[in-house]
């Protein structure tokens, strides 16, 4: 009996050790684990560090959860296999850690957990906030504390790395690696780390509320790990110094570069992408390798057709460098992802030949899925859809990006559009929620948000703070999360206070505004290196801007709804009255009765589409007059024209005044980009800097919300309103994800009738609106017939 009881107790103890009944660490209290660092290393300087811990297990566990973070970045290995990377970018008050179950990578006996941690120091990206270099790992179960970071961990600084400085400082330095100094096999079991140092202890891990002071406030990750999918490179477009076999590198294969040879290969992916190029080489001691990355090529310092290579070259392209050590199966992979359509591979061998074993990419981006679809009889829309979705995907990683090649910064103006695309095409709102929160955290003592966040260099675009409030309203309409509104409402009020405090008592409009009051990259609103004037309309600095005042009014419409939801009736009434006052002031000061247009400022120095778009969206004119105003907006070429970004708001005005059937005829700028060989949509019409800019992917949202007409009928998308505007289309078939399931439709149209079917998921009802007639929609299949 005693022996049996002993056996049961032993089994229970073993179960605890491997996760079944494990006592859990309170991750909301101060962690037992320490932040650790490399002794003697500059705490905030450039450096790449390797950490290791070996330990034994009596058997492979069923679960083994750990929580990992680092400053700046880490890549984690278990027994030589990469299992996690991060941390997702945040700020020091919200420093993310990733929970990872490593049980499947562990085994009975000896195991090794290891991490490469790097800090770009003064060369770090603008989006990278930092305190000092460090690593922390904390087990979830008390019994698994053998992996906790402490002085039993070993560390070494990798001397192989030096920063390769690029002209594009925003995304940080590239890598220069001398393979002869690299500790090959450092992540594997059995590697001799006897010469490595014991890690230095910094401080215990501290979540919010657990300490008297903080270096990093540890916060659980709220988004998934980035996608990692192998992506073969397509073809060699130019080859100098060597003949390349047909099909390489689209198909894996070896490429031998003879001794004392210089070669250059221009590799075309055929479309823009983001990821980690992985180059495997053997031999070739002292061979010098350079990989340069480009969105496009240049001829006479200008972009042309993106498919053309003859007479074109890479200009100011970021590059990585690798010096081979002669060993076998050496892998070069950059520390941070790269963006490319074209890769130029240049190699100069010494006395030994170098063999390329393989070259491919590991695609990396937020793991969005194309859960929506759009098909029609106009095949040009298929290409626009495909290109727009690629644009949106490349501009979404651990945060949304304005562009993946140049800045990799999460700007509010871009993010509002990106988030809508995400919810309509994928349905996942986690990155949108993170963005809304991060902009809330970015506010300064003034009250307004940073224009972009996270960032280590402040920038303020006051109109973007207003669009942040619109984002909150967008999320409420699509997901109904009142807790998120409540969380952000104090920040919303501070933004409103800032703008209200800038009103000019004489005009009743916004007066002089500090900072960069960017509206659009309209060509007449040129950049000025001395003042924050690029993209800023008249009155944007001095005061009296109709565009900015009307945007304030446009946002107040959403504010009144949000305040009413929060039962703040008095404040809602206050802003409702202010809204009316703003419209009256703009009408008095900026309406030109001869032109029947709103001027851009109180001095009537110019007229733009932008001011009159905002006049429609804010209801500065009676509804009956808005259609006439819109026709003047699109019919008067003398007006300052919107670029790709602000056409998003042009199309909102188009829909508002009942002319959405004209939308498809207004997509020429996107077709122009496709004609130039772009595989993503650019920042603005030619000449453009960025070939991939998320705000230009707006057609993916419009094709579903405007052409198919799918939108929430009530907050939270608890009911749907479908009002299609098919324009010249004779047929459309579409699907859109909804929290309850997919909304799908198949419609055929002619001059005299509309027929088809709409299917709603269980629990969702709605209405179908067409030519003034309303049909109730029920869960399941609904026949549609209008004659």
Q: Per-residue pLDDT tens for 335-356?
A: 999 999 999 999 999 999 999 9
- Cite the beta strand spans of 583-627 per DSSP E: 591-592, 597-598
Q: Are 770 and 724 in contact (CB under 8 A)?
A: yes
pLDDT confidence of residue 15: 41
Q: Are 312 and 49 in contact (CB under 8 A)?
A: no
pTM: 0.95
Of 368, 336, 335, 399, the residue nearest 94 (C-alpha): 399
Whether 14 shows a pLDDT value over 60: the answer reads no
* Percent of the chain residues past pLDDT 90, beyond the cut: 94
The arrangement of strands across the sheet holding 741-749 comes to 373-376, 731-738, 741-749, 754-760, 780-786
Q: Per-residue pLDDT tens for 87-131?
A: 999 999 999 999 999 999 999 999 999 999 999 999 999 999 999
Q: Per-residue pLDDT tens for 15-43?
A: 444 444 569 999 999 999 999 999 999 99
pLDDT confidence of residue 528: 87
Q: Can you tell me the mean pLDDT for 533-562?
A: 97
Q: Per-residue pLDDT tens for 269-304?
A: 999 999 999 999 999 999 999 999 999 999 999 999
Q: Per-residue pLDDT tens for 514-543?
A: 999 999 999 999 988 888 889 999 999 999
Whether 4 shows a pLDDT value over 50: the answer reads no
Element (H, E) at 623: helix 623-635
pLDDT confidence of residue 21: 54
CA distance 543 to 537: 10
Q: Can you tell me the mean pLDDT for 452-477?
A: 97
Q: Per-residue pLDDT tens for 235-248?
A: 999 999 999 998 99
Relative to beta strand 154-157, strand 47-57 is antiparallel
CA distance 223 to 220: 9
Relative to beta strand 754-760, strand 765-770 is unpaired
Write down the mean pLDDT value for the chain: 95
pLDDT confidence of residue 529: 84
Copy the structure tokens of residue 599: 């001027």
Whether 493 shows a pLDDT value over 50: the answer reads yes
What DSSP string runs through 238-303?
Answer: EEESSPPPTTTBTS---EEE-SS-EEEEEEEEEEEEEEEEEEEEEE-TT-EEEEEEESS-EETTEE
CA distance 186 to 181: 12
Number of H helices, E strands in the chain: 13, 36
Give 760's strand partners. 780
Q: Per-residue pLDDT tens for 367-392?
A: 999 999 999 999 999 999 999 999 99
CA distance 404 to 417: 16
Whether 255 shows a pLDDT value over 60: the answer reads yes
């Amino acid at each position: 009996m005693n022996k049996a009881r002993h056996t049961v107790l032993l089994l229970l103890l073993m179960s605890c050790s491997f996760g079944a009944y494990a006592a859990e660490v309170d991750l909301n209290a101060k962690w037992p684990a320490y932040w650790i660092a490399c002794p003697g290393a500059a705490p905030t300087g450039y450096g790449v560090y390797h950490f290791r811990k070996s330990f034994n297990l009596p058997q492979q566990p069923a679960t083994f959860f750990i929580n990992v973070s680092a400053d700046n970045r880490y890549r984690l290995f278990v027994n030589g296999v990469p299992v996690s990377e991060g941390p997702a970018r945040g700020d020091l008050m919200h420093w993310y850690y990733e929970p990872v179950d490593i049980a499947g990578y562990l085994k009975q006996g000896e195991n090794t957990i290891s991490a490469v941690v790097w800090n770009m120091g003064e060369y770090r990206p603008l989006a990278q906030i930092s305190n000092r270099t460090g690593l922390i790992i904390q087990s979830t179960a008390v019994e698994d504390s053998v992996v906790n970071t402490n002085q039993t961990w070993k560390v070494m600084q990798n001397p192989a790395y030096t920063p390769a400085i690029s002209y594009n400082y925003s995304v940080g330095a590239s890598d220069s690696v001398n393979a002869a100094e690299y500790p090959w096999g450092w992540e594997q079991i059995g590697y001799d780390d006897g010469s490595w140092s014991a890690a230095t202890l910094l401080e215990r891990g501290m979540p919010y509320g657990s300490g008297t002071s903080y270096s990093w406030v540890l916060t659980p990750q709220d988004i998934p790990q980035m996608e990692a999918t192998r992506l073969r490179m397509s073809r060699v477009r130019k080859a100098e110094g060597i003949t390349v076999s047909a099909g390489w590198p689209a198909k894996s294969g070896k490429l031998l570069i003879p001794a004392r040879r210089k070669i250059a290969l221009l590799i075309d992916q055929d479309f823009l992408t983001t990821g980690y190029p992985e180059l495997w080489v053997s031999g070739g001691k002292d061979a010098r390798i350079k990989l340069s990355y480009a969105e496009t090529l240049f001829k006479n310092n200008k972009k042309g057709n993106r498919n053309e290579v003859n007479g074109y070259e890479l200009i100011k392209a970021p590059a990585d460098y690798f010096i081979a050590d002669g060993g076998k199966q050496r892998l070069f992979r950059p520390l941070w992802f790269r963006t490319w359509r074209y890769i130029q591979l240049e190699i100069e061998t010494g006395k030994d030949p170098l063999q390329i074993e393989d070259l491919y990419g590991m695609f990396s981006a937020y793991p969005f899925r194309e859960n929506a679809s759009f098909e029609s009889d106009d095949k040009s829309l298929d290409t626009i859809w495909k290109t727009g979705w690629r644009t949106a995907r490349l501009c979404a990683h651990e945060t949304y990006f304005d562009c993946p090649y140049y800045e990799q910064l999460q700007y509010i103006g871009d993010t509002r559009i990106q988030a809508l695309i995400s919810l309509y095409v994928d349905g996942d709102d986690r990155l949108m929620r993170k963005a809304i929160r991060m902009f809330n955290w970015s506010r300064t003592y003034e009250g307004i948000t940073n224009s972009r966040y996270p960032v280590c260099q402040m920038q303020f675009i006051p109109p973007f703070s207003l669009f942040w409030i619109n984002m909150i309203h967008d999320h409420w309409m699509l997901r109904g999360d009142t807790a998120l509104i409540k969380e952000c409402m104090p920040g919303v009020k501070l933004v409103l206070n800032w703008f209200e405090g800038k009103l000019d008592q004489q005009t009743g409009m916004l007066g002089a505004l500090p900072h960069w009051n960017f509206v659009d990259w309209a060509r007449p609103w040129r950049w000025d290196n001395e003042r924050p004037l690029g993209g800023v309309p008249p009155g944007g600095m001095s005061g009296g801007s109709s565009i900015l005042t009307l945007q304030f009014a446009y946002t107040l419409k959403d504010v009144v709804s949000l305040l009413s939801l929060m039962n703040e009736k008095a404040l809602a009434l206050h802003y409702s009255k202010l809204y009316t006052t703003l419209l009256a002031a703009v009408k008095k000061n900026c309406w030109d009765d001869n032109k029947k247009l709103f001027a851009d400022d109180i001095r009537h120095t110019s007229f733009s589409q932008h001011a009159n778009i905002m006049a429609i969206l804010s209801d500065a004119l009676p509804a009956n007059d808005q259609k006439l105003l819109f026709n003047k907006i699109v019919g008067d070429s003398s007006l300052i024209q919107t670029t790709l970004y602000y056409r998003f708001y042009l199309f909102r005005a188009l829909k508002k005044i009942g002319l959405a059937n004209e939308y498809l005829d207004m997509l020429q700028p996107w077709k122009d980009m496709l004609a130039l060989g772009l595989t993503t949509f650019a920042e603005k019409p030619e000449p453009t800097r960025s070939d991939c800019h998320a705000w230009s992917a707006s057609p993916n949202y419009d094709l579903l919300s405007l052409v198919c007409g799918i939108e929430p009928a009530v907050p939270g998308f608890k009911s749907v309103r479908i009002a299609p505007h098919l324009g010249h289309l004779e047929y459309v078939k579409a699907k859109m994800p909804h929290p309850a399931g997919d909304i799908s439709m198949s419609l055929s149209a002619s001059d005299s009738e509309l027929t088809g079917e709409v299917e709603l998921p269980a629990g969702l009802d709605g209405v179908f609106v067409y030519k003034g007639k309303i049909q109730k929609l029920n869960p399941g299949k609904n026949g549609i017939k209008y004659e």
